[in-house]
Structure 1
Amino acid sequence: MTRRVLVTGAAGYIAALILPALRERYDLTLVDVRDTDRDGRPVPGVEVLDLLDDPQGRFDELCRGIDTIVHAGFRRPSAGPSYAAERINVDMAARVFQAAADSDVRRVVCTSTNQASKWYERPWKAKQIDRVDPFDYPRPDTFYGWAKVAYESLGFLYATGAQTRPVPNVQIRIVAPRPIRAADFADRPLADYLRDIAGWVSPRDLQQLYVRCIEAESIDDPFGVGFQIFYAVSDNARTFWSISNARRVVGYAPQDDSEVTYAGEIAEMLARG
């Protein structure tokens, strides 16, 4: 039987990268606060719905019979970064987890970010550490990263089943899901460029990770809690974010390597020093 998957933030950037694979495999329900992408193009199948302004409980209705919720919804702050602006995104994640708990949703796959541990990039650039692991203590240095940590923690609470029925969930920390163009770093330190090269994830690898997180038989941690944090990066020769647990738990097998895809530009950047 075809899985039924609900995607929040379905008109957003990350959804645009993964929807081609999801459309091929699943019966999709798509929701967002708009039905066009950032360039104003219609996104087929999107129902306009505000998770935080839903007095009739439409989102709860849509969750009935859903196998997996892919939560990619995100409200970009209209002003400068602040606790209040990002709190909205924590509230939205809480809405998703509670709706999943109140229905028969089997799993939630959340779109998180490396910003949850972005502070570690400082000692990495200073050559004080070589790798950051999903099990390292989260250390955000932006309100955006803090919000992601907050709903990762909330996800663990729901996964334990201590307050509701258990809601197994995966937090996918995406690093650099975009083309890495050397020209964009012409006036920036080489370390900034190498950071993105190390964190690049290709569309097909990102699609694969989401699919494997949806379809894996189990996402239990060593203590039997259905909760995982995975970094979303390709099989890059220059590594910093560990994907060993994603390989082990859900069989993630990325096919692309930034060192190959951007070989010419990398050589030019390194020669520039």
Structure 2
Amino acid sequence: MARRVLVTGAAGYIAGLVLPALRERYDLTLVDVTDTDRDGNRVDGVEVLDLLADPDDRFRQLCEGVETIVHVGFRRPAEGPSYREERINVDLAAQVFETAAATDVRRVVCTSTNQASKWYERPWKQQRIDRVAPFDYPRPDTFYGWAKAAYEALGFLYATGAQTRAVPNVQIRIVAPRPIRAADFTDRPLIDYLRDIAGWVSERDLQQLYVRSIEAESIDDEFGVPFQIFYGVSGNARTFWSISNARTLIGYAPQDDSEIAYADEIAAMLARG
């Protein structure tokens, strides 16, 4: 019998990248506040549901019998970045964890972002550091990144089981999941382009990372807490975000490298200087 997996934010961009692989492997339940993507195309199988306006507890009903929640849901700020606007996304993650704990969901795989540690890019661009690891202290420099760091911390709390039934969870910090266009960097410093080259993740590598995060037998840390943070990048030669723990713990084996995928563009950009 196929594993039952519920996906929030199923009509969004990131979900659109990973859903093809998830549809092939799992019995999916898809929810989002809309059933159309940004281009207006209908996404098959999405139940329209707002997790923060759910008086009938429909989300809890949908989670009964689900083994894994893949949380990709995100509320785009209506009035620009601010604490108040991004706090909504922390509340959204809290609803996912609370419901998972109440319904015996075995694991949550959360979509986070490198923005939770984005400040480290400053000393990297100054050549003062050359690597950031998943468990380096979170240092967001935007409200968006703060919200992601906040619900990573919330995820650890739920993983410990100190307040509720333990909810094992993985946080995937995606860096650069979109195609990289050299033309977008014409009037920007070269290091900005190289940053995206270092953080690029291909569609198939991102799919693999999600699948392995869902299916890994154990996600325990060194202290036995079922909690991990993985960076969502491919096996890029120019790397800044460490994926060594994902390789070791869940067998993540990226197939792609931005140095190969964008070889001609990189050469041209380096020649430009």
Q: Give the Å deviation of 1:80.
A: 1.6
- Kindly provide the amino acid, as one letter, of the partner of residue 148 in structure 2: K
Deviations 1:100-133 (Å, cap 9, x if unpaired)? 0001210000000000000000000000000000
- Kindly provide the amino acid, as one letter, of the partner of residue 6 in structure 1: L
The match for 1:7 is 7
TM-score (norm 2): 1.00
- CA-atom RMSD, angstroms? 0.4
The match for 1:71 is 71
Task: Measure, in 1, the Cα distance between the counterparts of 2:164 and 2:27.
Answer: 27
The match for 1:198 is 198
Task: Measure, in 2, the Cα distance between the counterparts of 1:39 and 1:78.
Answer: 19
Task: Report whether the alignment pairs 1:267 with 2:271.
Answer: no
Where 2:151 maps in the other structure, the secondary structure is helix
Deviations 1:78-112 (Å, cap 9, x if unpaired)? 11210000000000000000000001210000000
Where 2:108 maps in the other structure, the secondary structure is strand
Query: Mapping of 1:222-237 within 5 angstroms?
Result: 222-237=222-237
Q: Give the Å deviation of 1:74.
A: 0.2
Deviations 1:48-103 (Å, cap 9, x if unpaired)? 00000000000000000001000000001011210000000000000000000001
Q: Give the Å deviation of 1:193.
A: 0.1
- Kindly provide the amino acid, as one letter, of the partner of residue 182 in structure 1: A
Where 1:70 maps in the other structure, the secondary structure is strand
Where 2:24 maps in the other structure, the secondary structure is helix
Task: Measure, in 2, the Cα distance between the counterparts of 1:63 and 1:249.
Answer: 27
Deviations 1:7-31 (Å, cap 9, x if unpaired)? 0000000000000000000000000
Task: Report whether the alignment pairs 1:169 with 2:165.
Answer: no
Where 1:171 maps in the other structure, the secondary structure is strand
Please, which runs of 5 or more residues in structure 1 have no aligned partner?
none
Where 1:195 maps in the other structure, the secondary structure is helix
Query: Mapping of 1:129-208 within 5 angstroms?
Result: 129-208=129-208
- Kindly provide the amino acid, as one letter, of the partner of residue 84 in structure 2: A
Where 1:108 maps in the other structure, the secondary structure is strand
The match for 1:209 is 209
The match for 2:105 is 105
Q: Give the Å deviation of 1:152.
A: 0.1
Task: Measure, in 1, the Cα distance between the counterparts of 2:109 and 2:239.
Answer: 24
Task: Measure, in 2, the Cα distance between the counterparts of 1:232 and 1:213.
Answer: 11
Task: Measure, in 2, the Cα distance between the counterparts of 1:58 and 1:154.
Answer: 23
Where 2:230 maps in the other structure, the secondary structure is strand
Counting aligned pairs with the same residue, the percent is 82
- Kindly provide the amino acid, as one letter, of the partner of residue 41 in structure 2: R
- Kindly provide the amino acid, as one letter, of the partner of residue 241 in structure 2: W
The match for 1:239 is 239
Where 1:221 maps in the other structure, the secondary structure is coil
Q: Give the Å deviation of 1:192.
A: 0.3
Task: Measure, in 1, the Cα distance between the counterparts of 2:81 and 2:100.
Answer: 29
The match for 2:42 is 42
TM-score (norm 1): 1.00
Where 1:209 maps in the other structure, the secondary structure is helix
- Kindly provide the amino acid, as one letter, of the partner of residue 32 in structure 1: D
- Kindly provide the amino acid, as one letter, of the partner of residue 231 in structure 1: Y
Task: Measure, in 2, the Cα distance between the counterparts of 1:86 and 1:161.
Answer: 26
Please, which runs of 5 or more residues in structure 2 have no aligned partner?
none
